[in-house]
Amino acid sequence: MILPKKVLMECKKLGAEDAVVSLERLSTSQVKFSNSKIITTENNDNIGLSIFLSLKKRVVVTTLRELSVTSALKSVKELISFAKTLPENKDYNGIAEGPFKYRKKSKYSIGIDEAGTKGIMQVSEAIKKAKNLGIPKTAGVWEANYATSELHTSGNVAASEEGYSFYFSLRAFTDKNASGHSVCSSTKLEDLHVDKSVDEASGIAKLYTNPVKIMPGKYNVLFYPLAAANLIDNAAQSASIFSVESGMSFWANKLGKKVANNNFTLYDDATDDTGVGSCRFDAEGVPTKKVEIIGNGLLKTYLHNTSTAKKYGTKTTANAGLVSPEPRNLVVEGGNVNKENIISQMDKGLVVTNLWYTRFQNNATGEFSTVPRDGLFLVKKGKLFPVRDARISDNLANMLMQVEKACNDQRWIVSWEVSVPTKTPSLLINNVRVSRSVD
Amino acid sequence: MQQLADSVISAAKIKGVSYTEARIESSKSSGFVLKNGIPHVSGYDVSKGLAVRLIFNGAMAFGSTNILDKASVTKLVDSVIKSAKASAPSALKTEFSQENPEKASYQVKQKIDVRTVSPEKKLSLLQDIDKAILSTKKSVPGRYLILGDDYVEKFFVNSEGTRINSIIPKTNFTYFTTLKEKGSLIQRYWQYGASGGFETLTALNLQKVLHDEILTLSKNTREGVKAPTGKIDMVLGPQIVGIVVHESAGHPGEADRILGREAAQAGESFLSIDSAGKKIGSDKVTIIDDPSIKNSFGYYEFDDEGVKARKRYLYKNGKITEFLHSRQTAAQTSTISNASARSSSFDREPLVRMANTYFECGEYSEEELIEGVKKGVLMRTFMEWNIDDKRFNQKYVGAEAYLIENGKITKPVRQPVLEITTPKLYSSVDAAANNIEFHAGSCGKGEPMQGMPVWFGGPSIRIRKVRLGK
């Protein structure tokens, strides 16, 4: 495609010091189901051209989803005029200088329409399997995405990439108040283990019968991967230097300090090609790498792009987004203990299988609350008893200091509530505060 | 572009499709971010695309593209039909409620066209707000201000003869502030939005709003006392009432949630279709959702299924009266649509959504509500909130709040926590004031996510004998 190159040349010709031009196309095929029936399918094919440029430290961006060479070149002119009217961003320090060498990715190919047809079959089979397992009602989504991107920058970057992502989510109901939820995701269709998700969601739903009201108090809580990923996704936003500068991080001024228990290690690893957030380069073309955010409880780095790294006298972590640094593939290091062993040895505790509506009272301190959804179990002497109406009202920064154990069931989670792909095991966290609504 | 949409309807008809709709949307939006006084980034987006939704052999299918040449559009229609065919054996038999075909064209008027206001002027509004915050002389280390506008032109056509053209410009402002006071950090996030021109932003006097809020939160932190324990009365201000009605009247009243369509995403509802007519609260509780409020953030005259919008009474005098319906949910429950199907952009399917949800005004002033409280708390604004996915258990943590003693506000209260069930909350309402306000939000639903502009609001209300949490 010659469009990004032409647009880049136009940016330079009109005086932009830095320019990043990216052409991206996303084709998706989706199957939605509820009440054990497919309710709709979706086929989308959309293309967008993003332009980032700086003119005397004035930073402007645009995304054009109405594309032609003429309209794109006209937009560059508009963007330059737009930039001229703005005050300068004193914090802006430029983009990465290439060229760079990128790692090779294994080839994979499937037509998106063909994938969609397989998706319809997989969903039909999943519904059938759940029924055979005694689940009268299922709901969820199956999705295939094929994305291509071509990046050209004034920093001598010319790179391209393509990749697939597949995602399946199933919520199983045995009645209105008894449900279990499971998700899976992959970068190859054959690695999407729909069957396992049906088994897991159905198993939780069948266990979750006749829940009773929970007693508020402090509990040691075992968060299954779906629930743990919700906590990690929210916590990891604190790692972006953008969050730190905006007052949205509870890890501000904590670099090199203890922010989690010694057994807790968190990476952002866009080089792990099994995660659907994997990519070979970031938004300014820097080759991605495995970034240790928290190592054995210590905050090792914030996530940076070239500009923010220069400001703080460090190196980019290759986490540039078009506007600010962001995580792509979060990975929590797994442990060697079985979650079943943890439950069997638990005298009193809670098992949380899913979380919902996580909101902060204060992002800078970590006070927050979140609502357990689907199977929620009180553990008494190693046995599970369904409970309901709980809310976790605690401090996420403090909770990470209380991570007692990471299990050996590490897996990728993407869900309605978890936007950054997160590979996490179940996590046992001690002394978590649980509240309940007043009737 | 209308010809392209018409060609979709014709092509689908030839292929035996029983119902087809096409929607073409073009938009231009601009956005400005000021972070701690520094213009972080500014920009604009331009978009034009086509959505197609159809019913074939009883199966519903949706598709979109912004590659608008004839070949790409033909390919899209073919792939949508193919998906419908393939899914039909496992699909819900989709039917739509019978609605009158509509032909209309409408547009929101602007006094100051958002497209003609210079980027410089838009950014300078943010800078003025930032200066107003700093003029409080308080320590506000986090000042994250966002201003945006968009101008959306839409054409909707369906195979039943409905043709709707609309132009809706919108403006919005969001802030996130961190105040440092007595060694504590206090945060606050809020949003304003409207349909109309740039005048809708300047009319808000945002400089004063944020200046006053910083001073109020500072005082609250310095002088705030612990919230009282035991059973107390509360007066909830319009911002709290707004979020309450959105979360625990609007969402549970969405018929697609009630019918389980969103079960794996936004969740279900504690209500069922036969809840209509049953009691949910005291007779002081009337909650309305109305897309037709002029200049509102959730304004529209026809929804994204081409159905004429009207006012909906969700709860009336304490009884559940009406649910929000699309044509599909209406048909499933043997009623007609009340025009609640909305889509956030051309590449998203229409879903049942709120528009502008509010608690109906009462006859008292807020002062009169306070006068009737012997011991209680007035909660005006909040920071943290959430609710379970059936919309039954909810929590609101107060930001600006006051102790009420013997009918008078006596001192600020620090972060009172109201954690309460929906029936308990609405049953406890004994009076509503007449000081209605509307506030803006982006409501999330669907997969992929669709952020939808809405208003929510109401007057101050009084609730009796509730217990605050920790």
Contacts of A118 in chain B (CB under 8 A): none
CB contact under 8 A, B83 and A435: no
**Per-position DSSP letters for A307-376, written without gaps between them:** HHHHHTTS---S---SSS---SSEEEPP-SB-HHHHHHT-SEEEEE--EEEEEEEETTTTEEEEEE-S-E
Report the run of H or E that residue B420 belongs to, with start and end.
strand B417-421
Contacts of A32 in chain B (CB under 8 A): 447
Q: Mean pLDDT over residues B57-73, rounded?
A: 96
Contacts of A33 in chain B (CB under 8 A): 90
Of A127, A363, A369, the CB nearest to B386: A369
User: For chain A, what is the mean pLDDT?
Assistant: 96
Residue B317 in contact with residue B294, Cβ under 8 Å?
A: no
Of B459, B405, B400, B414, nearest in space to B434 by CA: B459
Q: Cβ–Cβ contacts within 10 Å for residue B116, how many?
A: 10
Interface of B with A in 86-105 (CB under 8 A): 86-87, 89-92, 94
**pLDDT score for A1:** 55
Strand A367-372 to A376-380 pairing: unpaired
Q: For residue B425, what are the CA distances in angstroms to A191, A437, B318, B366?
A: 47, 11, 11, 18
Q: How far apart are CA B285 and CA A438, in angstroms?
A: 20
Q: What is the dihedral of CA A76, A80, A82, A88, to 10 degrees?
A: 140
Contacts of B46 in chain A (CB under 8 A): 62-66, 71, 75
Interface of B with A in 183-202 (CB under 8 A): 185-187
CB contact under 8 A, B384 and A360: yes
CA A246 to chain CA centroid, Å, is 20
Which of the 8 DSSP states describes residue B280? -
Calculate how close chain B gets to A345, using CA atoms only, in Å. Answer: 30
Q: How far apart are CA B329 and CA A325, in angstroms?
A: 42
Strand B103-107 to B19-35 pairing: unpaired
Contacts of A174 in chain B (CB under 8 A): none
CB contact under 8 A, B47 and A66: yes
Residue A363 in contact with residue A248, Cβ under 8 Å?
A: yes
Q: How far apart are CA A131 and CA B440, in angstroms?
A: 43
What's the whole-model pTM score? 0.97
Which of the 8 DSSP states describes residue A116? H
Report the run of H or E that residue A200 belongs to, with start and end.
helix A194-207
Contacts of A58 in chain B (CB under 8 A): 39
Task: Determine phi and psi for B436, rounding to 5 degrees.
Answer: -65, 140
Minimum CA–CA partner of A87 in chain B: B39
CB contact under 8 A, B141 and A247: yes
SS3 B32: strand
Q: For residue A167, what are the CA distances in angstroms to A30, A140, A199, A231?
A: 9, 10, 16, 20
CB contact under 8 A, B38 and A29: no
Contacts of A416 in chain B (CB under 8 A): 264-266, 447, 449
Is the Cα dihedral A8, A10, A12, A16 positive or negative? Answer: negative
Calculate how close chain B gets to A117, using CA atoms only, in Å. Answer: 7
Report the run of H or E that residue B128 belongs to, with start and end.
helix B119-134
SS3 B61: strand
pLDDT grade for B336, boundaries at 50, 70 and 90: very high
Residue B368 in contact with residue B362, Cβ under 8 Å?
A: no
Q: How far apart are CA B11 and CA A405, in angstroms?
A: 59
**A-to-B residue pairs, Cβ atoms closer than 8 angstroms:** 278
Cα Rg of chain B (Å, integer): 24
Q: For residue B457, what are the CA distances in angstroms to B204, B245, B322, B366?
A: 16, 8, 19, 15
Q: What share of chain A is helix, strand, coil (3-state, %, to 5)?
A: 25, 40, 35
**pLDDT score for A323:** 84
Contacts of A393 in chain B (CB under 8 A): 395, 417, 469-470
pLDDT of B59 above 80:
yes
Of B123, B177, B383, the CB nearest to A361: B383
User: For chain B, what is the mean pLDDT?
Assistant: 97
Residue B168 in contact with residue B18, Cβ under 8 Å?
A: no
Residue A285 in contact with residue A22, Cβ under 8 Å?
A: no
pLDDT for B387-403, tens place per residue?
999 999 999 999 999 99
CB contact under 8 A, A373 and B45: no
Contacts of B128 in chain A (CB under 8 A): none
**Per-position DSSP letters for B221-261, written without gaps between them:** HHH-BPPPPSEEEEEE-HHHHHHHHIIIIIGGGBHHHHTTT
Helices B119-134/B206-223 angle, 10° precision: 30
Of B66, B260, B389, the CB nearest to A47: B66
CA A407 to chain CA centroid, Å, is 20
In a mutational test of the B interface, the residue from A20, A59, A112, A120 whose CB has the highest number of chain B CBs within 10 Å is A120
Whether B60 has its CB under 8 Å from any CB of chain A: the answer is yes
Contacts of A123 in chain B (CB under 8 A): 90
**pLDDT score for B379:** 98
Is the Cα dihedral B287, B292, B293, B296 positive or negative? Answer: positive
pLDDT of A439 above 80:
no
pLDDT of A438 above 80:
no
pLDDT grade for A68, boundaries at 50, 70 and 90: confident
In a mutational test of the A interface, the residue from B21, B34, B44 whose CB has the highest number of chain A CBs within 10 Å is B44
Angle at B410 between CA B408 and CA B416, to 5 degrees: 105
**Per-position DSSP letters for A225-251, written without gaps between them:** HHHHHHHHHHHHGGGBHHHHHHT--TT
Q: Name residues whose C-beta falls within 8 Å of residue B205's C-beta, 6 or more positions apart in sequence.
A: none
Of A43, A139, A438, the CB nearest to B79: A43
Interface of B with A in 349-368 (CB under 8 A): 349
Contacts of A63 in chain B (CB under 8 A): 43, 45-47
In a mutational test of the B interface, the residue from A241, A436, A438, A439 whose CB has the highest number of chain B CBs within 10 Å is A438
Among B39-43, B252-256, B370-374, where is mean pLDDT lowest?
A: B39-43
Residue A342 in contact with residue A405, Cβ under 8 Å?
A: yes
Residue B336 in contact with residue B97, Cβ under 8 Å?
A: yes
CB contact under 8 A, B268 and A176: yes
pLDDT grade for A76, boundaries at 50, 70 and 90: very high
pLDDT of A2 above 90:
no
Of A418, A369, A363, A360, nearest in space to A390 by CA: A369
